Amino acid sequence: MSEVMTATPQGWSAGRRRLALIALAIGYGLNTADRQLLSILAGPVKADLNLSDTELGLMGGVAFALFYATCGLPLAWIADRWSRANVIAIGLGVWSAFTAACGVVQTGAQLFLCRLGVGFGEAGGTAPSFSLVSDYYPPNQRGRALALLNFAAPLGVAIGPLAGALITEIIHWRAAFVIAGVGGLLFVPYFRWAVRDPSEQTRGEDVVAVAKLAPSERRNGLKKLFRSSTFWCLAIGASFSSMVLQGLLFWLPSFLERTYELEIIERAIVFGVTTAVAGIMGNWISGWIMDKRGSNRRLYVLLPAVAGLIAIPIYVVGLSASTLWVAVLFIFLGMILTFAYSTPIYVAVQHLVRPGMRSTGIASYLFINNSIGIGIGIVLLGFLSDLLTPLFGNDALKYSILASVCLYLLSAAFFWLCSRTLERDWIDG
């Protein structure tokens, strides 16, 4: 039998919820900052460890995604049954330690192994974080709350590389990894104090448990999810969108270096400001639209579909521009649309499962999304760049990125298919 209880922590002030949300956002920001460091440090790392673009893509994509995707589901299974806050805190410690270890590697193989460790730790962070925020806030506030958590992704993508570039200029690229990792380790105790799971009874706080499901109900719920065409169309559509986003986030600094000859600090500033502002705008606009117009369930997948289609010509103009600031303007506009897809999708996924299975539901989605988006997207762009280099020289990476933008056509097709059945499979709560 399932014991259904309210999913909102009772007796928590608005300030207490904000404190937990901010701590979760900082943790998520460290998550994205640590994984993104390699993108801005690609030049010196490639030179010191003698790597090709394909090998660099393997370090940024496959090495990270291998454990990040495959371990996310079992760690979410543990989080739904134990404590999501504990799972995130332990993961934060693990990925921070391996990030620091990236700074002492001597070979590409050692870097690959450390990136596996970073992926394993970060696998325990994302799904439980989004699940907790969904339990902290009611449905009519959930879109904006998840958008605020999602702000951490572009901020981490921006601040991590910028800090890494500054440290590299002052000290060395190895120091950037070590400092980032140690900073994460120091944050763990504060995080665990600030974040509470609604399933935990804490002294002095009236906290009510989330829905408790029997093991058979969890198994049946997971089987139903995996048999759902809605889930698969949503996950595959989002994966193609993720291939574009992850490819841009990893390779855009190298594009700025090779096409416009920007130094490491210059490209870190351009990349950081562009992704941070565009990411915040894209996530907030889509979250606001979902909270205001979310009664139309189809909008959760049609908005990402339309955003991707509009982004294609914008990126073509931006990536083909001969002037840096024209390129930056159009890439910025394209990235607003690119970031807009994730918040509606995260909300929709959590309504395809019952409360009490949200971490598992998100992790199931992330397994597909990250295996394709991070695992294939980043290395595919590196492989295409190497393949096109004999023909286009330094412009090979530009044409590789341009080719990847066409994946939005496939993404839109799957999102449209999902829109036909999403209302039918939507679970309130």
Q: Which pLDDT score, from 0 to 100, does residue 203 have?
A: 33
Instruction: Say if residue 18 is exposed, middle or buried (CB neighbours under 10 Å; 0-12, 13-18, 19+).
Output: middle
Output the six-digit token pair for 121.
């730790």
The number of folded domains in the chain is: 1
Q: Phi/psi at 212 (nearest 5 deg)? A: -105, 125
Furthest C-alpha separation in the chain: 67
36 close to 95: Cβ distance less than 8 angstroms: no
84-102 helix and 173-194 helix, angle to the nearest 10 degrees: 170
Q: Which pLDDT score, from 0 to 100, does residue 2 have?
A: 44
In a domain, 300, yes or no: yes
In this structure, what CATH number is given to the domain that contains residue 356?
A: 1.20.1250.20
Q: How many CB atoms lie within 10 A of CB 220?
A: 12
Distance, in Å, from the CA atom of 176 to the CA atom of 37, rounded to the nearest integer, reads 8
The residue ranges of DSSP E strands in 188-340, in sequence order, are none
What is the pTM (predicted TM-score) of this model? 0.74
Expressed as residue numbers, the domain containing 87 is 14-425
Q: Is the Cα torsion angle 403, 405, 406, 407 positive or negative in sign?
A: positive
Q: Which pLDDT score, from 0 to 100, does residue 287 have?
A: 80
Q: Which secondary-structure segment (H or E) carries 281?
A: helix 264-293
324-339 helix and 299-320 helix, angle to the nearest 10 degrees: 170
Q: Which residues pair with 212 in a beta bridge?
A: 3
337 close to 283: Cβ distance less than 8 angstroms: no
In the block, which residue shows the tokens 């993404």? 411
In a domain, 371, yes or no: yes
In a domain, 7, yes or no: no
Distance, in Å, from the CA atom of 396 to the CA atom of 387, rounded to the nearest integer, reads 8
Q: Which pLDDT score, from 0 to 100, does residue 79 have?
A: 76
Instruction: Say if residue 414 is exposed, middle or buried (CB neighbours under 10 Å; 0-12, 13-18, 19+).
Output: buried
Q: In the Cβ-directed half-sphere of 13, how many Cα atoms lie within 13 Å?
A: 3
Planar angle of CA 370, 58, 278, nearest 5 degrees:
55
Q: Which pLDDT score, from 0 to 100, does residue 12 have?
A: 64
CA 335: distance to chain centroid? 14
Distance, in Å, from the CA atom of 421 to the CA atom of 412, rounded to the nearest integer, reads 15
In a domain, 9, yes or no: no
Helices then strands, counting H and E runs in the chain, come out as 21, 0
Q: Which pLDDT score, from 0 to 100, does residue 11 have?
A: 53
Q: Which pLDDT score, from 0 to 100, does residue 204 have?
A: 36
The series of mean pLDDT values per 10 residues for the chain, 429 residues long, is 44 76 90 82 86 80 73 77 87 93 90 88 83 79 78 82 88 92 94 80 41 66 85 94 90 90 88 89 85 81 95 96 94 94 86 77 83 82 90 90 94 95 84
In a domain, 3, yes or no: no
Radius of gyration of the chain (CA): 21
In a domain, 2, yes or no: no
Whole-angstrom CA distances from 195 to 84, 125, 189, 207, 217 are 9, 13, 10, 13, 28
Q: Which secondary-structure segment (H or E) carries 414?
A: helix 407-419
Q: Which pLDDT score, from 0 to 100, does residue 334 have?
A: 96
